[in-house]
Structure 1
Amino acid sequence: MVEINDQKLAELLKQMEGEMPSQVRTRIDDTLASLPERKKKMKKSTMIASGIVASVAILLGAGFTNNTMAQVLQSIPFVGSVFTHSKDSTLKTTVEKGLSQTINKSATDKGITVTVNEVIFDGTRVSIGYVVQSQQDLDDNVNPSIGFKIDGKQPGNYGVGGNSERYDDQTILGVMHLDSSTQLPDKFELDVNFNKLGDTEGNWNIHFPVEEITSENKVILPMEKKESGDISLIVEKVTFAPTSTEVVYKLKQPAEREMELSFELYGSDGKALEPLSMFKENGTVKISYEPFKTIPKEITFRPQLRHDQEIDEKLSKLEMNLQLNLSALKSRGS
């Protein structure tokens, strides 16, 4: 551990101004930016620099060899919020509102460290921000193979989606979304096992608690029914959450003529939301869509079945327009 005061640190960084690679400069800038404001303003405080300053000393004495560079980047951990680096503006907004849960738990295997950085659970899906870091350059494709346990048990029916992007040659930032066909408890213990990263198999198991945020959730229970011949649709519940919009409905149709239907969800502006996941179980269907930026005054739930105009006209009778009284929307749990 190296102890250095702010003035010496500034001098070292200034000496390296013209030599420092951009990825190292970015990592140091992000680290400094993440420090608590109180510490930034202290004039006579010292900084314990097991990360940044030790790395600066290595750089000055080693001439930026490839091996040293890898060690330096490995020794400066990613700090801050993975979600704020995501292209998903919803996650960024949720973090800005202080609704994300900081985890920062890691597991290392095969020379690769995986860190669960933070999590958001808004009652409809679990979003996990993670970091993959190695002393060797990582491939662009490190999309993980993952297993889950909730309170020590394998969930019966769930889906996983997400994306990742390069932060620097040795670091990948990723976001994954866990959707379940059944309602998850408001608090639970989550085990995430990264068993494969790209082509590399290993065991990166991380255990952490998850707690639902409900202050932003709004729920309506329409229980509205539409019929078209021998087909009936009942929309039972709509949840407006920070990271998704969830619709629960029942669709009844003759088994011998059962059709595979999709449903589009529109707001007052007439723009269709992007679907995220869908589960079917015992006649009940749950679809998650991207979230509304603001809850609209009206939503439209529209069935779709292409390639057969006659059936499309029949299904148009199932289209449902729901007027929303925004002041009367219930918060989940109220």
Structure 2
Amino acid sequence: MNEQQIQNAKRSYEVLETDVELMMEKVGKRLQSGKGRAVQRPKWMIRRMSLTAAAAAVLCTVVLGSGFISPAMAAVLKEIPIVGSIFQKVRGPGLQTAAERGMSETVGQAVHNNGVTLQIQEIIYDGDRVSIGYVQQADEGFVNGSGPWDGIDFKINGEPYSDSVHGTGTEALDSGGNTRVGQITLQPNKQKLPDQFELTIEVAAVGGIAGEWNFTIPVKKTVSDIRSMMPMLTKSDGETTLLLKKVSFKPGVVDVEVELRRPAAMAGERMYSTEVVTDRGIALEGGNMEGDGYIEGDTHVQLGTFHFDAPEQMPKSITIQQRIPETYTEDERWNKVELTGEPTESNPLVISQGAAGRLLITKIEQSENNTMVYFRTEGNDPKNQGYVVIEDKQQPWGFLSPDKQTEVDAEKYSYVSEFAAIPADQSLVFMANNLKKPNYNKKLEITLPLEF
């Protein structure tokens, strides 16, 4: 090992050690939660990817290549101490649950170049996708918060990886944004990853700063307790065919892999949103998708894996539904109600949500640290109805979003949302989304008995 490699290792330790206390504090705050599990905003709020080739091409395409780091250097860099889990800090389907159960593999390789340290901190591999948690730190700040996305290449056992890549943006761990964390996931749609392989990563820019950060990492499966079925069930509606290829129950997440074929002339049209309902009538939270779309002769082929929060109890069956997308004007989007008294379970603050139903606020707790709002939904689309905000015309979108939302009871569709502290003498105007009654293509509906 040469002197420069040794200095890189020492430098990596120093810059990452600087923020140990801050990182611990921030990760600790993020992990504080109430009863139940944290849930994402509903699909109408996050513009979830449905099976559209154009969106898939934009979000999934990455330029690919190769990289290398010496084994001697890697051995030294693995000694850098790890603080917490990246996957408890950033979003990703099933990543937090897997990390909490110890199903991540510590890597700890770090390289310092051009004033930037990039550390591959840990990896989660469930046999279908590889998630890479990283820390990046700049001596004098980053040009932008994009992470290592501007020029990143991968190889699997020396062969270029040319399938889907996705992940999160970076999240700052300090007030200046000089220390940031994020995750990148390799989610192949066309190729199968081996159970064990050597992953090569070459990064040409981090946060807008050009340089060279190369890693070679041995990867093996880290996630256990996976139950999968490959039903290969098909349903058709005219010239449109849906194939249910695979369903996997993993720690914290249910993956539903589908293939949809339709005439190439329909490639630019909006597509369905995939939803999953259990035999007990519980709509699973989530539905974010990674996939790929392409033209094959006269056929538009769309491949996708949808991710849903795993139910607390294993269902006897699930029904995969294809929801016809709704359109709204901005004037149709929100309904508002001002708080005039203390809401209770027997006398809630009721906000109409149009044809979908209504949202009922049953309790509000205000303190110097936060504002807690307890509510439930009733109606035709209770899972998607489950989101409330507070009007604040000083905010970019005209409302204050919750910092965290927790599902209290999946069957009763009850939640608690945590907002920033609001002065007790300030009037509160709550806003809930106005929704149309959901409409599904019944011809493409598939009910799957679970036989694990």
TM-score, normalised to structure 1, is: 0.66
1: CA distance, partners of 2:439 / 2:146: 45
8 Å contact 1:187–1:210 — kept in the other structure?
yes
2:104 match:
100
How far is the alpha carbon of 1:273 from its aligned partner? 2.4
More displaced, 298-307 or 166-175?
A: 298-307
**Structure 1, residues 138-162: CA drift from partner, whole Å, max 9, x if none?**
4661422222111112112222222
Aligned partner (choices 236, 252, 261) of residue 271 of structure 2:
261
2: CA distance, partners of 1:144 / 1:133: 12
8 Å contact 1:134–1:171 — kept in the other structure?
yes
1: CA distance, partners of 2:167 / 2:90: 14
1:322 match:
448
- 1:272-283 maps to which residues of 2 (within 5 A)? 272-280=285-293, 283=301
1:179 match:
187
1: CA distance, partners of 2:439 / 2:97: 40
Cα 1:162–1:267 change in 2 (3 A) is same
1:159 match:
165
Cα 1:185–1:108 change in 2 (3 A) is same
8 Å contact 1:246–1:286 — kept in the other structure?
no
8 Å contact 2:165–2:184 — kept in the other structure?
no
2: CA distance, partners of 1:250 / 1:28: 41
Aligned partner letter, 2:260: L
Rg larger in structure: 1
Q: Which has the higher contact order (CA 8 A, sep 6+)?
A: 2
How far is the alpha carbon of 1:243 from its aligned partner? 6.3
SS in 2 for 1:26: helix
**Structure 1, residues 277-313: CA drift from partner, whole Å, max 9, x if none?**
01347657232314424443332222244369xxx98
Q: Which runs of 5+ in 1 are unaligned?
A: 1-22, 34-75, 330-334
2: CA distance, partners of 1:167 / 1:237: 38
How far is the alpha carbon of 1:96 from its aligned partner? 2.4
**Structure 1, residues 260-286: CA drift from partner, whole Å, max 9, x if none?**
533413132124523130134765723
Higher helix fraction (1 or 2): 1
2: CA distance, partners of 1:280 / 1:87: 24
**Structure 1, residues 69-122: CA drift from partner, whole Å, max 9, x if none?**
xxxxxxx96633222333559423212212111100111110211110100011
SS in 2 for 1:267: strand
2:202 match:
193
Cα 1:302–1:78 change in 2 (3 A) is same
SS in 2 for 1:274: strand
1:270 is the counterpart of 2:286? no
Deviating runs (4+, > 6 A) in structure 1? none
2: CA distance, partners of 1:184 / 1:159: 13
Cα 1:133–1:249 change in 2 (3 A) is closer
1:238 match:
247
2: CA distance, partners of 1:129 / 1:179: 15
Aligned partner (choices 151, 155, 178) of residue 149 of structure 1:
155
- 1:105-144 maps to which residues of 2 (within 5 A)? 105-138=109-142, 141-144=145-148
Cα 1:242–1:140 change in 2 (3 A) is farther
1:220 match:
229
TM-score, normalised to structure 2, is: 0.50
Aligned partner letter, 1:211: K
8 Å contact 1:140–1:166 — kept in the other structure?
no
Cα 1:230–1:89 change in 2 (3 A) is closer
2: CA distance, partners of 1:24 / 1:253: 52
Number of aligned pairs?
257
8 Å contact 1:140–1:165 — kept in the other structure?
no
8 Å contact 1:264–1:273 — kept in the other structure?
no
Aligned partner letter, 1:198: G
